[in-house]
Amino acid sequence: MKKILLIEDETNQRILCTETLEKEGYQVIAASNGEDGLNLLKNNDVNLVIVDIRMPKMSGLETLANILGQRKNLPVIIYTSYPQYKTDFMSWAADAYIIKSSTGLSELVAKVKELIGA
Amino acid sequence: MEPKDTLQYEIYLLDAICRGLQATLNVDKIIHIVLTGLTAGASLGFSRAAIFFINESGILHGGRGIGPYDQNEAEKIWADLTSSEATLEEMFENSHRKTLESQRFPVEIKSVRYELAKLPVNSPLRKVIYDNEIILLKGDERFLVPEEFHWFVRHATQVVVAPITISGKISAVVFADNAFHYKDITPGMISFLSIVLNHTGLALSNAFAYESTRHNLEQVQQLNEKLRQVQEELLACERFAAAGRISTYLAHEIRNPLATIGGFARQILEIAREKHTDPRIARNAKIVVNEVRRLELVLNNLLRFSFKQPAKKQNIHLLSFLNELMEVLSISIEDNGIHLNLDIPQHIHIYADSVQLSEVFYNLIHNAIESMKHGDYLTISAGEENGYVWVEIADTGYGIPPDVLEQLFKPFFTTKSHGIGLGLHLVKTIIEENHGGKIEVDSRVNRGTKIRFTIPKKEVGSEKNTAD
């Protein structure tokens, strides 16, 4: 079973994403901030990371930099409600940039499937 | 008046003129006082006086003149003057004096223009203008002045021409004559004229200095006023920008929970369908999904959210795309009693950004639903033509009046009590700017509206990055 690390500070969004991805047959481990996320990454064999951009403590882009420092080829999806960071060159290091909305979740699922398969 | 009284009268006149000149800073009034004073004792003094100014380009041009134009006017004016009981001061104050003045003489004077560069070397006017002398021209000498002045000097037998120095520069010339009474111009009258014109020069210097100071002051005041306006505009801009920042902030804050609500509602909808529970659960979840989508649309329009982003184009299977979209929209279509007809051929793919395309359809279909009544038809059809995919959304609703049609795509134009009028503007931007397509509207009042847009098909040779 493919394992996905979800770093998302908003509880409800975290539950929603986790449940949706689990329903699609993925195993999801979740963290509410960048630091916890990086710790989970160290101790788990993760296939893909989904990260929000605006988070307390460590920002999403900083987290992204650290993730890629640990696992250079790991697929990463930025999932956020802020479109403006799309032009930030750090975000280009991610494999996808998806805008959060009520329909964004199906886009997210489709992207996950595309990147790591079902 | 007897000759022995002449000196006394001249002194009285001089005193009155000087006091009049000291009391004003108004150029017109100064000229009026001088010319009135010079011609006041008409039967013993000058019958006419006229002033000409020298402008910066060296043109001598008519200013003002007082006196009769011909013999008839002369007799009438002098009769009026004799019978008038007005004092000199009252005459300086003007009002009734006008009725005594010839209208023709001043008008003719005003029209005189003479270029000083053309002045002959031997012209007596040179002495006046360049040597600051007063000259008396008698008999035929009168016609030594330029031709432009002949029309009036010919009525007199003697003419005095004198300069006026204003702020250290000879800037005006006065002609005074003995027209129609033909009495000799005496050395005493010339001295009198000289004294009056010295005072006039001083008075005019003051008046022009005052004028220019006032003009400068006015400019400063105007600049101040402009500055104040700019400051106000700046403040208004700042307030507007602040309001913009607040609404952007709020919109973002609302987007997040909205995404969560909508996402959960979709989950509930799916679960309710799978488990075949009470059908009201699915229906109600669908309502939540639909309403959330509508709110997101409003926020997106407000933030001009989607067209700030470059279109992420991919080939989209139009029929499945619309079926999924209609899943959500079907409630408001059914609730409004509208018959939906999807006429999309299976093979049609549209090369577009899926988020932006759904915004286009949501905006257009919502508008169509709002313009229809129970029992109306909504038809969505599509096809291919000359390298383009066309989509047509036709309703049998109220239609759009021609005056509204013209403004349909303008930002912030709306006929609705709700909404901010960005929807169709956004649609046009997405179709035309982001996708290189074209959108057209055809509408008849009470017959319905057809909106047709075209989007270029994917170019051959750009096969990589195909997402479907």
A76-107, pLDDT tens digit by residue? Answer: 999 988 777 776 666 778 899 898 888 888 88
Instruction: Answer whether A103 sits within 8 Å of B262, measured CB to CB.
Output: yes
Considering only CA atoms, which of A76, A108, A113, A103 is closest in space to residue A92? A76
Q: Which helix (H) or strand (E) holds B163?
A: strand B158-166
Q: CA geometry: angle at B47 spanning B43 and B53, to 5°? A: 150
Q: Which of A82, A102, A114 sits opposite B263 (nearest CB)?
A: A102
**What is the rounded CA–CA span in Å between residue B81 and residue B67?**
12
Q: Return the sign of the alpha-carbon dihedral for residues B121, B122, B125, B129.
A: positive
Q: What is the CATH number of domain B311-456?
A: 3.30.565.10
What residue segments make up the domains of chain B, in order of their start? 4-216, 311-456
B295-307, pLDDT tens digit by residue? Answer: 887 787 777 654 4
**What is the rounded CA–CA span in Å between residue B277 and residue B312?**
39
Q: Look at residue B352 in the predicted model and tell me its pLDDT.
A: 92
The DSSP 8-state label assigned to residue B184 in this structure reads P
Instruction: Answer whether A83 sits within 8 Å of B308, measured CB to CB.
Output: yes
End-to-end Cα distance, chain B: 118
**What is the rounded CA–CA span in Å between residue A101 and residue B387?**
33
Q: How far away is chain A from the Cα of B298, in angstroms, using its nearest Cα?
A: 13
* Beta pairing, strands A48-51 & A76-80: parallel
Instruction: Answer whether B257 sits within 8 Å of A12, measured CB to CB.
Output: yes
Residues of A with CB under 8 A from a CB of B: 10, 12-13, 16, 19-20, 81-83, 86, 99-107, 114
* Residue B171 contacts residue B164 (beta carbons within 8 Å): yes
Contacts of B263 in chain A (CB under 8 A): 13, 16, 20, 102, 105
**What is the rounded CA–CA span in Å between residue B454 and residue B229?**
47
Q: Look at residue A108 in the predicted model and tell me its pLDDT.
A: 94
Instruction: Answer whether B358 sits within 8 Å of A103, measured CB to CB.
Output: yes
Q: Tell me whether B417 touches chain A (CB under 8 Å).
A: no
Neighbours of B287 (CB within 10 A): 16
Q: Look at residue B2 in the predicted model and tell me its pLDDT.
A: 47
Instruction: Answer whether A81 sits within 8 Å of B259, measured CB to CB.
Output: yes
Q: How far away is chain A from the Cα of B308, in angstroms, using its nearest Cα?
A: 9
Q: Which one of 3.40.50.920, 3.40.50.2300, 3.40.50.2000, 3.30.470.30 gives the CATH number of domain A3-116?
A: 3.40.50.2300
Considering only CA atoms, which of A103, A64, A60, A66 is closest in space to residue A82? A60
Q: How far away is chain B from the Cα of A101, in angstroms, using its nearest Cα?
A: 4
Q: Return the sign of the alpha-carbon dihedral for residues B219, B221, B227, B232.
A: negative
Closest residue in A to B263 (Cα) is A102
One DSSP character per residue, B334-402 reads: HHTTPEEEEE--TT-EEEEEHHHHHHHHHHHHHHHHHT--TT-EEEEEEEEETTEEEEEEEE-SS---H
Q: Tell me whether B356 touches chain A (CB under 8 Å).
A: no
Q: Which helix (H) or strand (E) holds B204?
A: helix B187-275
Residue positions counted in chain A: 118
SS3 state at B403: helix
B1-38, pLDDT tens digit by residue? Answer: 444 577 787 888 888 899 999 989 999 899 999 998 88
pLDDT of B347 > 70? The answer is yes
Q: Which position has the token pair 């990055």?
A: B465
Average pLDDT over residues B105-131: 92
Q: Label residue B67 exposed, middle or buried (CB < 10 Å: 0-12, 13-18, 19+).
A: buried
Q: Which position has the token pair 């004799």?
A: B82
**What is the rounded CA–CA span in Å between residue B356 and residue B338?**
25
**What is the rounded CA–CA span in Å between residue B358 and residue B367?**
14
Q: Which of A16, A81, A86 sits opposite B264 (nearest CB)?
A: A16
* Residue A98 contacts residue B354 (beta carbons within 8 Å): no
* Residue B297 contacts residue B359 (beta carbons within 8 Å): yes
**What is the rounded CA–CA span in Å between residue B259 and residue A104?**
8
pLDDT band per the 50, 70, 90 thresholds, residue B370:
confident
Q: Tell me whether B293 touches chain A (CB under 8 Å).
A: yes
Task: List, as ranges, residues 303-342 from B with C-beta within 8 Å of A.
Answer: 305, 308-309
Contacts of B289 in chain A (CB under 8 A): 102
Residues in Cβ contact with B219 at an 8 Å cutoff, skipping those fewer than 6 apart: none
* Beta pairing, strands B438-444 & B448-456: antiparallel
Contacts of B309 in chain A (CB under 8 A): 83, 86
Q: Look at residue B102 in the predicted model and tell me its pLDDT.
A: 55
Average pLDDT over residues B316-344: 86
| Homologous superfamily, domain B4-216 | GAF domain (3.30.450.40)
The tokens of B309 are what?
């982003």
The DSSP 8-state label assigned to residue B165 in this structure reads E
Q: How far away is chain A from the Cα of B293, in angstroms, using its nearest Cα?
A: 7
Least confident of B2-6, B43-47, B265-269: B2-6
Least confident of B192-206, B233-247, B344-358, B379-393: B233-247
B53-98, pLDDT tens digit by residue? Answer: 999 999 999 999 988 888 888 888 777 776 666 677 777 776 445 5
Contacts of B258 in chain A (CB under 8 A): 101-102
Considering only CA atoms, which of A80, A103, A107, A109 is closest in space to residue B293? A103
Instruction: Answer whether A13 sits within 8 Å of B252, measured CB to CB.
Output: no
- Mean pLDDT of chain B, nearest integer: 85
One DSSP character per residue, B414-463 reads: --SSSS-S-HHHHHHIIIIIITS-EEEEEEETTTEEEEEEEEEPPPTT--
pLDDT of B141 > 60? The answer is yes
Q: How far away is chain B from the Cα of A104, in angstroms, using its nearest Cα?
A: 8
The tokens of B12 are what?
């009285």
Q: Look at residue B279 in the predicted model and tell me its pLDDT.
A: 85
Instruction: Answer whether A102 sits within 8 Å of B358, measured CB to CB.
Output: no
**What is the rounded CA–CA span in Å between residue B89 and residue B34?**
12
Instruction: Answer whether B305 sits within 8 Å of A16, measured CB to CB.
Output: no
**What is the rounded CA–CA span in Å between residue A114 and residue B338?**
38
pLDDT of B463 > 60? The answer is no
**What is the rounded CA–CA span in Å between residue B25 and residue B18?**
13
Neighbours of B195 (CB within 10 A): 14
B160 DSSP β-pair partners: B136, B176
Instruction: Answer whether A102 sits within 8 Å of B292, measured CB to CB.
Output: yes
A23-79, pLDDT tens digit by residue? Answer: 999 999 999 988 999 999 999 999 999 998 877 777 788 888 888 888 888 999 999
Contacts of B256 in chain A (CB under 8 A): 10, 13, 81, 100
SS3 state at A29: strand
Q: How far away is chain B from the Cα of A110, in angstroms, using its nearest Cα?
A: 10
pLDDT of B366 > 90? The answer is no
CA of residue B386 relative to chain centroid, distance: 48
Residues in Cβ contact with B122 at an 8 Å cutoff, skipping those fewer than 6 apart: B144
Residue type, B95: S
Pairs across A and B, CB distance < 8 A = 57
Closest residue in B to A19 (Cα) is B267
End-to-end Cα distance, chain A: 9
Residue positions counted in chain B: 468
pLDDT of B197 > 70? The answer is yes
Residues in Cβ contact with B50 at an 8 Å cutoff, skipping those fewer than 6 apart: B35, B62, B63, B64, B65, B66, B67, B105, B109, B152, B174, B175, B176
Q: Which position has the token pair 């296939």?
A: A47
pLDDT of B219 > 60? The answer is yes
Q: How far away is chain A from the Cα of B428, in angstroms, using its nearest Cα?
A: 21
Closest residue in B to A17 (Cα) is B263
Considering only CA atoms, which of B455, B459, B443, B461 is closest in space to residue B405? B443
Considering only CA atoms, which of B133, B164, B139 is closest in space to residue B31? B164
